[in-house]
A and B are shown apart, each in its own frame.
Chain A
Amino acid sequence: MAKAFDHRRWIPAPLLPRQDGRDASLVFVIAVLCFLACLTGIGGLGADRAAQGWGRQLKGSATIIVRSTISQVPDAVADQAVQVLGQVPGVKSAIAQDRSEAEALLAPWLGQDSVLQNLPLPRLVNVQLDVLKPATSESMANALKAAGLDVTVDDHTLWMKDIGRAGDMARGLAIATFALMALSAAAVITFATRAGMSMRHQIVELLHLTGAQDRFIADLFQTRFAIMAFFAGFLGAGAAAGLAAVVRTLGGAEGLTPVLPIAWTDLLITLPCPVVAALVAALAARLTTLGLLRAMP
């Protein structure tokens, strides 16, 4: 037998019914939206990292072709170029390929014949640039030309632009998808609040007529939907983090593909998801409730 009711130990019950049939499906929908949003976020981070990685590799180096005339000694010309480049600000180091390396590069086409012995082969100089303040191709070319050298400078700018564009696109797409997910979640919650309010219309009306401020009623619905969305966000974000963790474990540092490298720290972006979901839900529920209450006399 239950003990007799003691009003001195009474704890006020929640004013809104704890169970509502719709909640399970609503939790599911919001969890799925959060799951997809988190996956989008992790994918976006991976794409961004891939783009930045390639960009960094390309940005940090340049290749310079040094041609020599018949009267010049190619290796000496290359050494001169290395010395000139050493003076250019923004150059960390410059290394000239010697003849054997140049021959090795050409061997597949020309063979290891003695023909090569007499050809003035152009030399390649690999330049490592200061990543923070890299020398521009113009400054290097100008310095080399001033020294009377015949050179072509390739600082990979063309590639950089493409990769930068691809990275921006991946980032933009991730942000747009994420925003779309947040909006759908808000729309679903707004819909659910309306459904909940009409199902609980009598309760809302009773509270209203008993002298509850609109704020008071809005707080009830807001809290209720915020808690529900937090829980759903937790489930969705957890599932996304779990999936990403599996991908990271199976694929190593590169993820499943070098195009989408996943870092363990990427999983951290799922952390704010429950809070964001709760905030979106709270706002949607509050605005919906206040809007419906305003229509009451």
Chain B
Amino acid sequence: MSFCPAAPASPVVNSAVPSEKPPTVRFRDVGLRYGRSPEILRDISFDLEPGSFHFLTGASGAGKSSLLKLIYLANRPTRGQVQIFGQDAQRMRPKDLPGLRRRIGVVFQEIYLMEHLNVFDNTVLPLRIAGQNPQDYRNDAAELLNWVGLGRRMDAMPETLSGGERQRLAIARAVVGRPSIVLADEPTGNVDHEMGLRILRLLVELNRLGTTILIASHDQDLVARSGMPVMHLDGGRLSHSQSPFQPDLGAEPMGAGDI
């Protein structure tokens, strides 16, 4: 299989279209508090269907990153039910967690690169962790890096990358293991508007290949231009809405030279 987006592997599936498969993510009456503080998240309930694309918005400190952490199993809810791939997060056995985490690609808000590893080593980290044979993935990884526009920087160290390049590297790392879902926390946080659009197009492309996408962002303009459904956090509670505008991501398809 190739990362080249020219031929979508599956049709776009939106959350509006119900599916027989269990939702990729299901929250029921989820509450979260840190220590003795009041609840950051309250009575959160939603489903992310396989292949769906959502934005998660909210003011700074509204709890976007906290909600994503519940999905990528970096935190447990204080109450309520979190289901990932149809499995109850509270009832998962510790030995099953790594396998589930490998099906979740995360673009961390803080990016978290391995500063002592070059771009290529950083990218293939999830595959090494999964114990795959380098011969089986190095070509795909190189192709992916070309796709995100880092083809010429594969042996560069992270400290020599620009903010946008770091962000694209983080995205490459998040998707290289072909996860079922990609969670991107402010993936356009460090880049200018134009680069933000490029990154968004990249994620839309992945979604066309069947990946479930959830992007936390407070870039209202970007959210609006995507035309994708929005989940909004306010006062710890979640409200849903469709983006009020039609998608406007630029007409040209994504390609190796595009970014």
Contacts and interface: CB of A to CB of B under 8 A. Distances in A.
A93 to B, nearest CB: 74
A7 B139 contact: yes
- The dominant DSSP class at the A interface is loop
Given A13-B118, A206-B112, A212 B134 contact: no
A10 B117 CA distance: 12
A211 B117 contact: no
A12 B128 contact: yes
B135 to A, nearest CB: 9
B63 interface: no
Interface stretch (B16-24, B97-105, B190-198): B97-105
B120 A5 contact: yes
B138 A10 contact: yes
Contacts of B114: 15, 203, 206
27 contacts: A5-B155, A7-B141, A7-B154, A8-B138, A12-B121, A12-B128, A12-B134, A13-B117, A15-B117, A15-B128, A17-B116, A18-B116, A209-B72, A209-B74, A209-B106, A210-B106, A210-B125, A210-B126, A211-B98, A211-B100, A211-B126, A211-B130, A212-B129, A213-B95, A216-B129, A297-B73, A297-B74
Contacts of A170: none
Given A5-B120, A7-B142, A12-B121, 4 more contacts: A18-B116, A206-B114, A207-B129, A211-B126
A210 B101 contact: yes
Contact of A7 (B74, B100, B138): B138
A202 interface: yes
Given A210-B101, A212-B98, A5 B154 contact: yes
A7 B129 CA distance: 18
B76 interface: yes
Nearest to B174: A210
B242 to A, nearest CB: 31
A213 to B, nearest CB: 5
Contacts of A7: 120, 138-139, 141-142, 154
Interface centre among B118, B121, B139 (most CB of A within 10 A): B121
Interface residues of B, number: 32
A297 B99 contact: no
Nearest to B73: A297
B162 interface: no
A297 B97 CA distance: 9
Contacts of B106: 209-210
Interface in B66-122: 72-76, 95, 98-102, 106, 112, 114, 116-118, 120-121
Contacts of A209: 72-74, 101, 106
Interface string A5-26: 1011010110101100000000
Contacts of B72: 209
Contacts of A206: 112, 114, 125
5 closest cross-chain pairs (CB), A and B: A211-B102, A5-B155, A211-B101, A7-B142, A17-B116
Interface string A163-206: 00000000000000000000000000000000000000011011
Contacts of A202: 112
B129 A210 contact: yes
Given A5-B155, A209-B72, A13 B121 contact: yes
Contacts of A17: 116
A6 B102 CA distance: 27
Interface centre among A12, A203, A206, A211 (most CB of B within 10 A): A211
Contacts of B99: 211
Nearest to A18: B116
Contacts of B154: 5, 7
Nearest to A5: B155
B126 A10 contact: no
Contact of B76 (A15, A216, A297): A297
A13 to B, nearest CB: 5
B84 to A, nearest CB: 13
Interface string A209-239: 1111100100000000000000000000000
B68 to A, nearest CB: 11
A212 B73 CA distance: 13
Contacts of A5: 118, 120, 154-155
A273 to B, nearest CB: 31
A297 B94 CA distance: 9
Nearest to B126: A210
Contacts of B129: 207, 210-212, 216
A279 B141 CA distance: 37
Contact of A10 (B76, B102, B134): B134
B138 A213 contact: no
A207 B74 CA distance: 12
Contacts of B116: 13, 17-18
A216 B95 CA distance: 12
A10 B128 contact: no
A13 B120 CA distance: 10
A15 B75 CA distance: 25
Contacts of A213: 95, 98
Interface in B178-233: none
